[in-house]
Structure 1
Amino acid sequence: MRGVVVGVSGSAEAEAALDWALTEAASRQVPLTAVLAWTGPRGVQPSEYQDELERRREDLLGLLDASCRRTSLGLDVSAQVVEGDPTDALLNAGEDADLLVLGRRRRGRLGRLVLGSVSSEVVERAEVPVTVVRVDAGAGDDDGQGGTDPGSPQEGPARVVVGVDTSGPSVLALQHAAEVAARTGAVLDAVFAWQITTLAPLPGSWGYAPPLDEYEAFAAERLDEVIAEAGVDLPEDRLVRNVVHRSPATALIEASAGAERVVVGARGLGGFDRLLLGSVSRQVLEYASAPVTVVR
């Protein structure tokens, strides 16, 4: 199943994801599949099973119709009601998709939950790019500690922010983000974050650290190399090389303010083979104020 697959549940977060997915599918000129997972007929009499299944399908079609009206878009859309575990249903439906789209759970009173369990598991296990869409900033962060508030829309073209180091996943993320920027006319904001934590002096000396501008020049060279490796071909006025002295997660979360989306690799240089999702990717997913796409 090629195209865009979106998980639908009827929540405000899922509706935001559905609207975003519909717009993305129209931009890509690919079909959209909306998947509603149903845990099964527990408590439903066998004679009522088919009626219950049809009711859920009608609910899903109603959500699709409402999204088409909100976005003023009409395209090839299909609806699937899938019985079983929601995570498995979405992973199966999106196994060969170009993109999987999910909603991001709002932050609760204790500031603990951002990604829901289904979204988190899908991002961890999916082998295709996954975009997690949040409700507009300020609408769902009860404790005021959520992602950066994007404030008023920025003037000029939209921005697509991508995190770059020199890892394989970041090259894939850069290629994905460059395709989005080329297709939508957005500016590609390639963020290469670097940070000095500690420098150990040589025994018997005060130690030596090169000037910071040498570190920055080195980082800028690495960014240029990765851009060339990824084959990015955008006009110079639509490619921003953003070399910043910050932790990668902080830099990307700050850059997400006002952005159209943020793209990250599933795991960067700091990841371990046993970890499916790196700490930077997870922090960006939880706190960025724009939709986040995770690429493998």
Structure 2
Amino acid sequence: MLRPVIVGVDGSAESLAAADWAAREAVRRERPLRLVHVWNWHPRQDGEPATAAQRHLARRALRQAEDRIRRSCPGVALDDAQVEGPATAALLGAADEADVLVLGSRGLSGFTGFLVGSVALGVVARAERPVVLVRAGEEAADEHVLAEDGGASTRTPYRDVVLGLDLGDPCDEVIEFAFEAARTRGARLKVVHAWQPPSPISLGPGDIGLVDESRQAEEWLGFMTAVLQVWREKYSGVEVTETVTEGRAQSVLVRAASGASLLVVGRRITERPAGPRTGPVAHAAIHHVGCPVAVVPHE
């Protein structure tokens, strides 16, 4: 049985944008779509799991999302579910059943980034399946290049999919997700690696730190080409560009994702004393990148 694309909905603008994006992704992946509403339930003394008002609001939020999706993606196989909170735990449970989990994030004005709620951050930090965060206001045309007259269109080609690749830890799960995203869109895949001059205790893969500094970018690019070779062969129909840039990974990726249809980054699954974390690169991406961001967990 195919895993569904699952999206959390609560009636907010950001969750509705996420639901629309998730429906389009389900069509691209040829997967069913499931809408999930979570009651932020705090048990009452009598043990009643939800009031009539809560049930009504849940049904209304789901119906609102369903109506939008039926209009925009009438062919998608769709179902819904109501689950009891707390929200982070409930969505993590949903993620375990998902091909990909989609959540919304609220846009902020100017260039200050995006407000990502504690629930979304908690899910991203702990999920063992890919999670995509979609900003409020995201529309189908935003995934496509502008038309010749400069207007928005869904009939033009998709914008690039951007993969932030850590060549110090090039994980198959992250690379495959990005190639598959590019394939289903017919989009170009732009692979980006940010490098900094190595410290005396960290020479980098292939002892790149031993190479003259003026040639290190060339060495990183050669290493990237070698890492991607098997994926280029597997996804021979995907156009790939490779870029290595000196600088902090967070800043490089935010710039590279400008104008993209999707940014893909990885997150290592670790148990730290202070609890799971998104990591600095994923953290910067989900707060400051305007396009949808896929965070792919890996060992």
Tell me the TM-score range normalised by the shorter chain.
0.7 to 0.9
In structure 1, distance between residues paired with 2:58 and 2:270 = 42
* CA spacing shift, 1:52–1:235, aligned 2, 3 Å: same
Deviation per residue, 1:92-127 (Å, 9 max, x gap):
122121100000133389x59721000000001100
8 Å Cα contact 2:188-2:240 kept in structure 1: yes
Q: Which moved more, 1:190-199 or 1:8-17?
A: 190-199
Partner of 1:161: 162
* Aligned pairs for 1:142-153 within 5 A: none
Shift of 1:235: 4.5
8 Å Cα contact 1:263-1:294 kept in structure 2: yes
8 Å Cα contact 1:163-1:173 kept in structure 2: no
Unaligned 5+ segments in structure 2 are: 139-144, 202-209
In structure 2, distance between residues paired with 1:63 and 1:35 = 13
Partner of 1:94: 95
Deviation per residue, 1:255-279 (Å, 9 max, x gap):
1111110001114xxx986354221
Partner of 1:279: 280
In structure 1, distance between residues paired with 2:114 and 2:290 = 15
In structure 2, distance between residues paired with 1:112 and 1:24 = 24
* CA spacing shift, 1:195–1:29, aligned 2, 3 Å: same
SS of 1:294's equivalent in the other structure is strand
8 Å Cα contact 1:169-1:265 kept in structure 2: no
SS of 1:60's equivalent in the other structure is helix
SS of 1:196's equivalent in the other structure is coil
SS of 2:181's equivalent in the other structure is helix
Unaligned 5+ segments in structure 1 are: 138-149, 201-207
CA RMSD of aligned residues (A): 3.5
Q: Which moved more, 1:241-250 or 1:36-45?
A: 36-45
Partner of 2:28: 27
Q: Equivalent pairs: percent with the same residue?
A: 31
8 Å Cα contact 2:10-2:62 kept in structure 1: no
Partner of 2:212: 210
* Aligned pairs for 1:185-264 within 5 A: 185-196=186-197, 210-212=212-214, 214-230=215-231, 233-235=234-236, 238-264=239-265
Deviation per residue, 1:37-74 (Å, 9 max, x gap):
11237789999957435423431342233322552433
In structure 2, distance between residues paired with 1:51 and 1:98 = 32
* CA spacing shift, 1:281–1:210, aligned 2, 3 Å: same
8 Å Cα contact 1:57-1:80 kept in structure 2: no
8 Å Cα contact 1:175-1:231 kept in structure 2: no
In structure 2, distance between residues paired with 1:287 and 1:232 = 33
SS of 1:103's equivalent in the other structure is strand
Q: TM-score, length-normalised on structure 1?
A: 0.79
In structure 1, distance between residues paired with 2:229 and 2:239 = 15
Q: TM-score, length-normalised on structure 2?
A: 0.78
Shift of 1:9: 0.9
Partner of 2:82: 81
8 Å Cα contact 2:7-2:36 kept in structure 1: yes
* CA spacing shift, 1:88–1:272, aligned 2, 3 Å: closer
In structure 2, distance between residues paired with 1:57 and 1:232 = 46
